[in-house]
Structure 1
Amino acid sequence: MKTYGNIKVAIADDHEIFRDGLRAMLQKQQDILLVAEAANGKELIEQVKSQEPDIVISDVKMPVMDGAAATRHLSEHYPQVGIIALTMFDEEDLIIDMLEAGARGYLLKNADKNEIIEAIKSVYQQQPYYCRHTSNKLAQMVAKSKFNPYKQKQKPEFNEREVDIVADICNGLTSKQIAEKIFLSVRTVEGLRLKIMEKMEVKNTAGIIIYAIKNNLYKPNNV
């Protein structure tokens, strides 16, 4: 597992005001070093070639060359670079395009500072990152896509209770609802939920849903 030094980050977005805000936030982080900015995919490829970032945060919609095309090129020529897609809430198909092109995670543009930092550090450690605000619909779309970061990993074992809780989470139940269903305290269910996330190496509910469907722990009713 990589240790944190200065994680070198490049950002790509055609909106200068958004880049300004992202730059100001990243420059305040002690263990993150912003090394490059780009306004389109072509510029991003040139910056990655010259600056060798560890992480790229790229908008999906950009002029000249869009995020998916740039991601395909970077994944082929610079596979060591972790790419995080940056998107609006209603661009599910574009998120799938980015992940299938080689991105290792995605963030919605309304993500807060802490989530952006968490995404950078997760992808830097070669762990996928799914935005906390992922809808159940999008999580299932990601799970059914060609994107699969779990192929080479040794599969952890889940007991019957954990599998049942995973199914309840995938069906949209809250910890309180699960606790009432299986006659446990909410605190106990939260503890089991954390244990499940640790086994899956995911950070949130979206991660649980995507992992569960990808690894046949849960089958959606509409499949």
Structure 2
Amino acid sequence: MSRIFLVDDHTIVRDGLRALLANEPNITIVGEASNGQELLDRLPTAPADVVLLDANMPVLDGLATTQRLRAEYPQVRVLILSMLAHERYIGQLFDAGASGYVLKSAEKDEILLGIQMVISGRQFLCSDLGLNMLRKVLTKDDEPDETTKASRLSRRESEVLQLLAEGLTTNEIAEKLFTSKRTIETHRQNILEKTQTKNTAALIRMAVTQGLLD
């Protein structure tokens, strides 16, 4: 019997996962938490084989939680379940000790396969991510220049870039654009990925150089 601990800051996601796994004969849900710190507080009394872990959470996010789990509970496997599809961030999570990464849009069978793979000691990457990475490798020789990369930004991403350059915080941008902090963080990650910049400072430098800011 595989013991699974669910960690996501949205109750509806945890409820959905619990319902999804409820009838699996070889799986039992031993606990739930809304962030990484809650997980670490509860693991001593609710031991698990696999932690199904969201990447983007308050208090202690997926990356920090994975690092703590590798240091404090090395026997526990980490399967990331996230909406984020950025190669750099995925690589950081694997480097931190995650055994697998599955998009929240994945089908039930793929989530179950991911659980089985990490329990067996192997690594797992969901098919959509794997195919997307393969396409990027195959088209690497046709890599566009910086101006072309920046032109890939959507209208909303360009708005977020402008506000970042003006020094607004994520919360301030979310309030200004009438959306959630999570959405702005996702836009920011998309902008970094599309422009292939490592952080906000490098992004702003590139945007100034390319004349992308008002």
For this structure pair, what is the TM-score category when the shorter chain's length is used for normalisation?
0.5 to 0.7
> What residue in structure 1 maps to residue 41 of structure 2?
46
CA–CA distance in 2 between the matches of 1:134 and 1:90?
Answer: 7
CA–CA distance in 2 between the matches of 1:119 and 1:139?
Answer: 19
SS class of match (2:117): helix
Aligned counterpart for 1:79 among listed residues 53, 74, 82? 74
CA–CA distance in 2 between the matches of 1:20 and 1:137?
Answer: 29
1:119 aligns with 2:114: yes
Aligned counterpart for 1:94 among listed residues 72, 80, 89? 89
In the alignment, structure 1 segments of 5+ residues that lack a partner are: 1-5, 142-169, 173-223
What is the CA deviation profile of residues 137-178 of structure 1, one whole-angstrom value per residue up to 9, with x for unaligned ones?
54699xxxxxxxxxxxxxxxxxxxxxxxxxxxx749xxxxxx
Greater share of residues in helix: 2
In the alignment, structure 2 segments of 5+ residues that lack a partner are: 140-214
What is the CA deviation profile of residues 122-150 of structure 1, one whole-angstrom value per residue up to 9, with x for unaligned ones?
10000101111115554699xxxxxxxxx
**Identity, % of aligned pairs?**
37
Code of the aligned partner of 1:117: L
TM-score norm. by structure 1 comes to 0.58
CA–CA distance in 2 between the matches of 1:51 and 1:140?
Answer: 41
> What residue in structure 1 maps to residue 5 of structure 2?
10
TM-score norm. by structure 2 comes to 0.60
CA–CA distance in 1 between the matches of 2:122 and 2:8?
Answer: 23
> What residue in structure 2 maps to residue 182 of structure 1?
none
Following superposition, the deviation at residue 86 of structure 1 comes to: 1.4
1:22 aligns with 2:17: yes
Aligned pair count reads: 139
> What residue in structure 1 maps to residue 148 of structure 2?
none
Tell me the C-alpha RMSD between the 2 structures.
Answer: 2.1
Which structure has the greater CA radius of gyration? Answer: 2
Distance 1:118 1:137, change over 3 A: closer
CA–CA distance in 2 between the matches of 1:75 and 1:56?
Answer: 12
